[in-house]
Amino acid sequence: MGLSRAQASKDLNSYINDHPEHIIYDKTAKTYVLGPKFEEHYTALDPSEYLDDLLSISRGGSAPTADWIVYQPDILATTVPGRGLSALTLRNVLLACEQGKELQISYQSMSSPDPEDRVIIPHALAHDGFRWHARALCSKDQVFKDFVLGRILKSTLGEQSDVDAGTDEDWHQTITLKIAPHPGLSENQRRIVELDYAMQDGIAEIQVRRCLLFYNLKRLGLDVDPNSRSPNEQQIILQNRDSLARAEV
């Protein structure tokens, strides 16, 4: 952590003086451990942050707060299929974002049998849980869209652009998803779902960017009619589906 022994000793003694009941010396282990009345004072106890860091480390990455992890259990995570992506494509997308330039691309979409030449003006990256996208203005359609990075077959930096990323309203607008336990579940099952999603009064509110709404709904299994699956399989419903539909009009 880049901390000298002298500084560590000074900081430890300072903590003991300020919070004597929160830390004790274990003579057997020859180390300081948490006291019976320990409470956090200098950092919040965030289980999600700790688990996210463990997941990042397990996948061979680094974590912003990895230095604070004193114990790392064995963990496994589901395997996500690798996505084809050219390093040059990523480099050009990043340069276009940074420098505000057009990007001339050859793009293979699901709606076209052959690759199409397009000019896009990317300003950000987005991840849908499985794939990376370039968020960009499509010069052809004059709307902001998501372009899957792996489907960009060729790319060349173009001219300077005057497109303002602030005009991408769907990128900047936040909407609220209200999810609740499936009404077909038993009372006990509903309580379990409420625990799973940290619901308050049977509701969990999730803030999402409007441009990622489709991906969020799909990942939560809310992109289909909840009655098409059994309550045990579906588990949650989107309570404000009608208001979201009106907002899309």
At which of 123, 143, 165 does a domain end? 165
Same domain, 142 and 209: no
Tokens of 168: 């991408």
Confidence band, pLDDT 50/70/90 cuts, at residue 106: very high
Asked if residue 121 belongs to a domain, the reply is: yes
Asked if residue 77 belongs to a domain, the reply is: no
User: What is the count of structural domains for the chain?
Assistant: 3
Asked if residue 118 belongs to a domain, the reply is: yes
Residue 44 has pLDDT above 80, yes or no: no
At which of 68, 102, 119 does a domain end? 68
Same domain, 143 and 200: no
Contact 84, 150 (CB under 8 A): yes
The average confidence (pLDDT) of the chain is 88
* Domain CATH for 124: 2.30.30
Q: What is the layout of strands, in order, in the sheet containing 204-209?
A: 204-209, 174-181, 236-238
Q: How far apart are CA 1 and CA 39, in angstroms?
A: 23
Same domain, 177 and 161: no
Helix count (H) and strand count (E) of the chain? 8, 10
Confidence band, pLDDT 50/70/90 cuts, at residue 65: low
Asked if residue 82 belongs to a domain, the reply is: no
Same domain, 182 and 227: yes
pTM reported for the whole predicted model: 0.76
Tokens of 44: 């919040």
Asked if residue 110 belongs to a domain, the reply is: yes
Same domain, 146 and 216: no
Instruction: Tell me which residue range forms the domain holding 33.
Output: 5-68
Contact 222, 237 (CB under 8 A): yes
Which range is least confidently modeled, 66-70, 138-142, 149-153, 229-233?
A: 66-70
Same domain, 196 and 212: yes
Contact 234, 182 (CB under 8 A): yes
Confidence band, pLDDT 50/70/90 cuts, at residue 180: very high
Tokens of 241: 């589906």
